[in-house]
Structure 1
Amino acid sequence: MTRPLSVSVERVIKADRPRLAAFAADMGNAPRWYRNIASVDWKTAPGTSPGARAAFVAQFMGRALAYTYEIREHIPGERLVMSTEDGPFPMETVYEWFDEGAGRTRMRLTNRGRPEGFKAVLMPVMSLAMRRAMTQDLAQLARVLPR
């Protein structure tokens, strides 16, 4: 069994926590701030309640990926956990939000998974590519967040 892949990035964004968290937690907004996500198709009623599911089409490391995320936990304004069993390997994504003073919020984005077989050999390259993409995604989120 391979060791898990875990990548976290953080960014302080000029926005109050409830507004930033509500926008980021809405999977329908993902194509606006995730540069690799081309589309989202809700498989359940749109929402952030546990059990809500959305299918994503993305590009990563030159490959087209299709996978469905399901919300596992949502504490509005604090934490969102979603996971997928589809795609290149099972993955869990966690968003966390923390106050950083008046009108500023620190968002932590974490992706965890356990690649198997040949994909496990690529973990160091995947980790670097994920960190770079996730850092760019949080920067894009800061740019597109409605005022």
Structure 2
Amino acid sequence: MVDVQTKIIIECPCDQVSAYAADPDNAPEWYVNIHSAEWQTPKPLAVGSRIAFKARFLGQQLAYVYQIVEYKPGRLLVMKTADVPFPMETTYTWESAGSCATRMTLRNRGNPAGFSIWFAPVMSFMMRRANEKDLKRLKKLLESQASK
């Protein structure tokens, strides 16, 4: 089992952070490893929406489709993929952390199967590192926009 949770405080209002982070079109801007996001269902984002992502992780090209399984704008986004060798669930949560700050949590959970089960500890470490970079990139991006 892989279960990685990372958090960050972003000095921007919760509605601004959540709206930006929940929009799949913005994912390539703040996720280091994601190269593209393509809607497979009509916009806007809702439970049942499907988005195809292309990414690179641990030197491998990945293509996967996330389906939105829970969405409470400004508070919670849960998406899952099951059509890959390593089924994954990604959860974003947002909560106010003061008058003009947001605590964002990014959590990835999954159960590797077969051969990849032996790499779960390494995958957890690498995911944590990537998630920390992604959240720092998101923070820098949003805080620099807010200061303009």
Are 1:80 and 2:103 matched, yes or no? no
Shift of 1:94: 0.3
What code does the residue aligned with 1:23 have? Answer: Y
Output the CA distance in 2 between the equivalents of 1:66 and 1:94.
19
Write out aligned runs for 1:107-146 (5 A).
107-145=104-142, 146=145
Identity of aligned residues (%): 47
Q: Could you say what secondary structure the match of 2:104 adopts?
A: strand
Residue 87 of structure 1: CA displacement? Answer: 3.2
Count of aligned pairs between the two proteins: 144
Question: Aligned partners of 1:140 and 1:88: how far apart in 2?
Answer: 28
Secondary structure of the structure 1 residue equivalent to 2:91 = strand
CA distance in structure 1 between the aligned counterparts of 2:11 and 2:61, rounded to whole angstroms: 33
How many Å apart are 1:33 and its aligned residue?
0.4
Q: Please state if 1:6 is matched with 2:27.
A: no
Displacement of 1:28 in angstroms is: 1.1
- Residues in 1 aligned to 2:84 and 2:113: alpha-carbon distance in whole angstroms: 12
Deviations 1:88-107 (A, max 9, x none): 41100000011110111000
Q: Deviations over 1:13-69 (max 9, x none)?
A: 011001100110111110010000000111011222001111000000000000001
Per-residue deviation at 1:86?
A: 2.6
Aligned-CA RMSD value:
0.9
**SS state of the match for residue 61, structure 2?**
strand
Gaps of 5+ in 1: none
Determine which of 53, 66, 70 is the counterpart of 2:67: 70
Q: Which residue of 1 aligns with 2:31?
A: 34
Cα distance in 1 for partners of 2:44, 2:67 equals: 11
Q: Which moved more, 1:123-132 or 1:136-145?
A: 136-145
> In structure 1, how many angstroms separate the alpha carbons of the residues matched to 2:80 and 2:7?
19
1:102 maps to 2:102: no
The structural deviation recorded for 1:108 is 0.3
Counterpart of 2:53 (choices 50, 53, 56) is 56
Question: 1:65·1:87 contact (CA, 8 Å) conserved in 2?
Answer: no
> Match for 1:46: what amino acid?
K
